[in-house]
Structure 1
Amino acid sequence: MSSPSRPWTCSRPHAHVTTGSSEDVRRKVTVEPVIGQVKNTVLPRFSLRSLTKVQGEFSLACAVHNLKKLWKLGWELPSLAAQAA
């Protein structure tokens, strides 16, 4: 099954590659559009310098991005009066 010069290769594809299981479908989902939207709209560049500060700034930018998506969909916060009742 393998080439004599390259013993690590295989002449036939593995079964999991050809079946298209649910794990393979999940792997095809990409996050690149979200990163691009965050960079273009919310956070064009980082203003802080240490890694922990940049991670916090990026988390905040992602939260803003998600809140903007919810706002565009017309999502509303439940009122406090309804929660107390």
Structure 2
Amino acid sequence: MKRQFCGPYDALDFLENEWPNHGVQHARAVQACREALHHPAYASSARNCFRAACSEASFACSEAGNPGSRIEPKLVSRHK
């Protein structure tokens, strides 16, 4: 099942309410997403932490953005 995340709020909601396991990378991603909500400059760090958490949970994760767009890329996660 594919999931699409439009930013740190969407990712944080998924991490806190639907995530299957809570490891080290999960905790880092939760903290990074919370920080990105208060400081938009941290969005890139939150995205990297979210990707690491996906790897830890055996989710495939890829970015799907609009070429030439200034909108942050969206992360798509699906269980392997």
Provide TM-score, normalisation by structure 1: 0.29
Pick the structure with more helix per residue.
Answer: 1
Pick the structure with more strand per residue.
Answer: 2
Higher-RCO chain (CA-CA 8 Å, sequence separation at least 6): 2
Larger Rg: 1
